[in-house]
Structure 1
Amino acid sequence: MFELPSGFNKPVLVSSCDGVGTKLKIAAAMGKHDTVGIDIVNHSVDDILTCGAEPLFFLDYIAMGKLDPVIVADVVKGLSMACQEVSCALVGGETAEMPGLYHGNDYDLAGFIVGIVEKDRILHGRSIRPGDAVLGLPSTGLHTNGYSLARNVLGESPSAMAARYSTLDTPVGEALLKPHRSYLADLKPVLGDVKGLAHITGGGFTDNIPRTLPPGTAVRISKGAWEVLPIFELIQKIGGVAEAEMYRVFNMGIGMVVFADPSKVAALMQSMPEAKIIGEVAADTGGGRVILE
């Protein structure tokens, strides 16, 4: 049970469910499981943040072939730490042992979050119009998406994860395991100046941004407006991945896209020094709703 906080006139509950995906394969190869709990909590927090909601409580689901108390303890450690960081109650979960489905060190991790927002403060993007500014907040890495392609290119064995490349300051496995970033602390103080948010997850720029845009609008993104993280350049180079595919699969160094009136940009960037102006909203002329220039 969870008692709703007071102070809301017309509270609306916002929920989301997601999983860590095949990033768990990297965690298994590295023998490091204390960050994937952070991933699923922060991913979930960011998902409901796109509606303007702040988290209330979180539940987890862990499934594996044979219960490994050490792995479970490490996962829960990450879950607990991430929930504390965003003042979200970790109210429970389920740990399932299914030897007929999971084998060896395989396991799965999913999370369920419920948040709250005042009804008249829901972010829906309907007021976004041509001429509005598009800002981007940096990611820490792949976050929780694109790992099937990344593993295909870079491998997933312990030796592959220990490999060092001149463009990375850590073994590649550590770069791939960097936790998903939560944008709640950055955006909560300025949500009143924001028209819409797009969490760049599975589907990259091309799939996630249009979900926020109202009909008749598109965005022009300036690819040179921010520094693409070295891990993405490495995947593209080794795998020979086309640039369009990179922006369709990965966040490319931008984890959250912010839409705002140009008059609000100065205040937003003062509050969020890491933000970059990465583009502008335009009229949809039929040439695609996300135009990468």
Structure 2
Amino acid sequence: MNATSKPPLSYRDAGVDIEAGERLVETISPMARATARAGVMGGLGGFGALFDLKAAGYTDPVLVSGTDGVGTKLMLAFETGIHATVGIDLVAMCANDVLAQGAEPLFFLDYFATGKLEGGIAEAVIAGIAEGCRQSGCALVGGETAEMPGMYPPGHYDLAGFVVGAVDRDKVLPRMGDMESGDILIGIASSGPHSNGYSLIRRIVAREGLFYGGPSPFSDQTLGEALLTPTRLYAPLVMPLIRSGRIKGLAHITGGGLTENTPRMCPDSLVPDIDRASWEPLRVFKWLQEAGGVTEDEMHRTFNMGIGMVLAVSPADVEGVLGDLAAAGEPAHVIGALQSA
């Protein structure tokens, strides 16, 4: 058979279904529109997304960008079939990072890559991304869905996210020049491991011979549901404090835990002195430490231990900041102070 007599091939024959991609765009477009906010110009479908900073209320803005993924927490989504929450994690890992610079998350783009679009998985993931954007107050303005046959096992996918935020120049964090020995560290609670330490978590679960569909040893959910608890989004809670000028520094507690992340907001002349006895770690961390035989130091440099965000404030502002957080339904508390290095 010569080349001219071979049956014609299409992109679908090669494993890429353009029509499925178009249907996905139709499904997710209302989700994206629901996250619109002041400053968004136009809608989905262009080659880029436009945003008007003046319409968003900024006069002397500095742009802050961030990117991240969800890591091996995705493996739990694959094993449990629960795909509705990892999109929230994706937004949170990006939005909380730019928040630590004092920036309000403004708009978000996602990248979803899979071998084959199937079973409503992409729709569930992107619905979670839209929910994360809603919770953080930023707009889902676009993204990329890539169907790449042979790149991923069936049912698997990867996620990446990209956020752009803005902060007026005089509110950029951290304000290292204003930090002093004796400044107080306030901890805001996490919801669990967030999206860090899951390679160790999965190793502990496997060694214990546990099943993700079985009961959790630390909650009344299944183990998979409990470990897929999404990352908290802190922007609505913290932005009013940033705008008040009372926050000198913020640390988003991600990979590296409190040990590695808190010093990132400090000048070389100061170090954080954290009192590990000042809060009660969540039950999930107690279980992980006991089941894995993990040392206390290793726990604190791997997990957030129940503290998702740390604020540095002047001693004179502690009572007011704690009061504002309490009024917002957040029972935050003092976890330490800055000391001379």
| Shared fold per TM-score greater than 0.5 | yes
Instruction: Tell me what 1:276 maps to.
Output: 333
Does residue 198 (structure 1) correspond to residue 251 (structure 2)? The answer is yes
Aligned with residue 114 of structure 1, among 164, 170, 178: 164
What is the distance in 1 between the residues matched to 2:224 and 2:339? 39
1:155-166 to structure 2, matched below 5 A, reads 155=206, 160-166=211-217
**Contact 1:200–1:254 (Cα < 8 Å) also in 2:** yes
1:134 aligns to what SS in structure 2?
strand
Q: Tell me the CA shift for residue 235 of structure 1.
A: 0.9
Does residue 135 (structure 1) correspond to residue 186 (structure 2)? The answer is yes
Q: Which is further off, 161-170 or 264-273?
A: 161-170
What is the distance in 1 between the residues matched to 2:69 and 2:216? 29
CA distances 1:83-124 after superposition (whole Å, capped 9, x unpaired): 123331111111112233211222111100001110111012
1:13 aligns to what SS in structure 2?
strand
1:187-266 to structure 2, matched below 5 A, reads 187-191=238-242, 192-266=245-319
1:15-54 to structure 2, matched below 5 A, reads 15-54=65-104
2:224 partner letter: G
CA distances 1:36-62 after superposition (whole Å, capped 9, x unpaired): 111111221111000111111100001
**Contact 1:25–1:156 (Cα < 8 Å) also in 2:** no
1:257 aligns to what SS in structure 2?
strand
Q: Tell me the CA shift for residue 29 of structure 1.
A: 1.4
Instruction: Tell me what 1:288 maps to.
Output: none
Amino-acid identity (%): 46
Does residue 93 (structure 1) correspond to residue 143 (structure 2)? The answer is yes
Return closer, same or farther for 1:156/1:3 CA change in 2, 3 Å cut-off. Answer: farther
Instruction: Tell me what 1:70 maps to.
Output: 120
1:107 partner letter: Y
1:22 aligns to what SS in structure 2?
helix
What is the distance in 1 between the residues matched to 2:149 and 2:237? 42
**Contact 2:216–2:226 (Cα < 8 Å) also in 1:** no
Q: Which is further off, 127-136 or 4-13?
A: 4-13
CA distances 1:130-174 after superposition (whole Å, capped 9, x unpaired): 100001000000111110000010139996112324532222211
Return closer, same or farther for 1:193/1:156 CA change in 2, 3 Å cut-off. Answer: farther
2:142 partner letter: G
What is the distance in 1 between the residues matched to 2:235 and 2:194? 15
Instruction: Tell me what 2:132 maps to.
Output: 82
Return closer, same or farther for 1:44/1:30 CA change in 2, 3 Å cut-off. Answer: same
What is the distance in 2 between the residues matched to 1:77 and 1:151? 26
**Contact 2:100–2:250 (Cα < 8 Å) also in 1:** yes
1:161 aligns to what SS in structure 2?
coil
1:140 partner letter: S
Instruction: Tell me what 1:5 maps to.
Output: 53
What is the distance in 1 between the residues matched to 2:61 and 2:207? 45
What is the distance in 2 between the residues matched to 1:40 and 1:123? 23
Q: Tell me the CA shift for residue 242 of structure 1.
A: 1.0
Q: Tell me the CA shift for residue 247 of structure 1.
A: 0.5
Q: Which is further off, 85-94 or 143-152?
A: 85-94
Q: Which is further off, 124-133 or 48-57?
A: 124-133
Return closer, same or farther for 1:241/1:276 CA change in 2, 3 Å cut-off. Answer: same
Q: Tell me the CA shift for residue 81 of structure 1.
A: 1.6
TM-score normalised by the chain length of structure 2? 0.80
**Contact 2:272–2:338 (Cα < 8 Å) also in 1:** yes
Q: Which is further off, 246-255 or 182-191?
A: 182-191
Tell me the number of residue pairs that the alignment of Structure 1 and Structure 2 aligns: 284
What is the distance in 2 between the residues matched to 1:270 and 1:132? 17
What is the distance in 1 between the residues matched to 2:201 and 2:72? 10
What is the distance in 1 between the residues matched to 2:188 and 2:323? 13
